[in-house]
Structure 1
Amino acid sequence: MADLDVPRRRGRGRPRDPETDSKITRAAAELLLLRGFDKTTVDEVAARAGVGKATVYRRWPSKEDLAVAAMETLYSAEFPEPDTGTIEGDLAANYRSFIAFANTDTGLAYLRMSITESLRDERIAALYRSSTERRENDARASLRRAIERGEVRRDADVDTAVQYLGGIVTARVILGRPLPQLEDVDTLVQFTLRGIRR
């Protein structure tokens, strides 16, 4: 029997443009960092992205859904873990990078928003946890290399060492206290090393 050419039905409307999705989530992320969730509106996101409000709502039916997508783009950013050949060098490079970021307007806004929005929406909390765990795993790899080199005790509390600086910064953000500065890096590194070195 001869094959029949059966016409295929096309989907309704034009296919979604990934570039448009990216423009919208980028605009939403910028506004969330600038103003926070409560003061950001879908109208503003649409205007900043150069699209109509209906275009935004076709992709994300609520502001909450859009915020989750925007936060996902922020949390997907990767910070390469240093490998200087020594644990002291790795910690110093890591701490310097994190402290420099935290002391920028964008970095402080990122931390404040992460804390606030994680308490408001479990989906954002899950994204934040996943991002934090990726970075912690990278830091654990650095400590494992140091253990193999004989710089760090095999019974060292790796989890506390990995979470030490992040815990300080998070507490100070919540309490509104001054964050560690670049000139504090050496002191913070030495404090960490006292707890883990052989």
Structure 2
Amino acid sequence: MTEMVAAAPPTAASRPTEPQRRGPGRPRHADTEPRAYRSALEIFGRRGWSGLTLDGVAAHAGIGKSSIYLRWNDKGELLLDAVRDLQARVPAPDTEGLGIRELLLAHARARADLLTGAYGPALANLCTAAAANPDVLDEIRKVDLARGMCALTEQVEEAVRRGELAPGTAVGPLLEAIEGSILVHYLVNPTATVPELRAGLEGYVTALVDHQLRTLRRQPVPAQP
């Protein structure tokens, strides 16, 4: 009678390879932070401070909530990082050797271009949101303004010392007038679309800066006591 021999159990090498199964949840992405930054700015631009949430950013960006909460404690931290990232990616104008008019024009042009760009609504919302939530958003507002017209204070003061502007020129009000005019032009223009605003950007900025300089040069600046 033929003896029955029991088959040896299959070894690990002889077993068929089973496909790897992914665990539950979204896949991880190497670009988690850039996607979160873009989403935070887009949501903040459309819905303001009250409409910005970490859960909303995760859903909008297609990122797992755990990835968001591991990186940021709250929406203020995320928005601050998003604004810093945006400013780091926007090169400052090269103004080496420029006179006062060209200096102001270069920065006003860059500011207007940023406000009429993809993240203009988010930057514009910083003003009203910071006024309503000063304790939370003041640092974010300062980061944004650090790249705006007010960052030119020292350079404009140097222009005063060189004699390009009259002694005693009120540098702060000059820069605030240009910065504020660009913002208001973007926010309250009743009929122009964003593409129309961008198309007229160069003419508007040039007229704005020239008007401010003509006003300063036409009116004697009183001596400081």
Shift of 1:50: 4.1
C-alpha separation in 1, matches of 2:108 and 2:80: 28
Shift of 1:168: 2.0
CA displacement, residues 70-120 of structure 1 (integer Å, 9 cap, x when unaligned): 34434555552524531122222222222233333532x033321232134
Q: Which amino acid aligns with 1:66?
A: L
SS at match of 2:119: helix
Q: Which of 110, 113, 133 is equivalent to 2:122?
A: 110
Alignment of 1:1-198 (within 5 A): 20-74=32-86, 79-81=91-93, 82-107=95-120, 109-121=121-133, 122-133=135-146, 135-136=148-149, 138-172=151-185, 175=188, 177=190, 181-197=201-217
My pick for the range that moved more, 57-66 or 185-194, is: 57-66
Compute the TM-score of the two structures, normalised by the length of structure 1: 0.68
C-alpha separation in 1, matches of 2:118 and 2:147: 24
Which residue in the other structure is 2:21 paired with? none
Which structure shows the higher helix fraction? 1
- CA separation of 1:166 and 1:77: change in aligned 2, threshold 3 A: farther
CA displacement, residues 144-189 of structure 1 (integer Å, 9 cap, x when unaligned): 3422432111211111111111122344556565678432233212
Q: Which segments of 5 or more consecutive residues in structure 2 lack a partner in the other structure? A: 1-28, 221-225
Where has structure 1 moved over 6 Å in runs of 4 or more? none
State how many pairs are aligned.
Answer: 181
The higher radius of gyration belongs to: 2
Q: Which amino acid aligns with 1:114?
A: L
- CA separation of 1:118 and 1:151: change in aligned 2, threshold 3 A: same
Q: Which segments of 5 or more consecutive residues in structure 1 lack a partner in the other structure? A: 1-16
RMSD of aligned residue pairs (Cα, Å) = 3.4
Contact 2:156 2:171 survives alignment (8 Å):
yes
Identity in percent: 24
SS at match of 1:143: helix
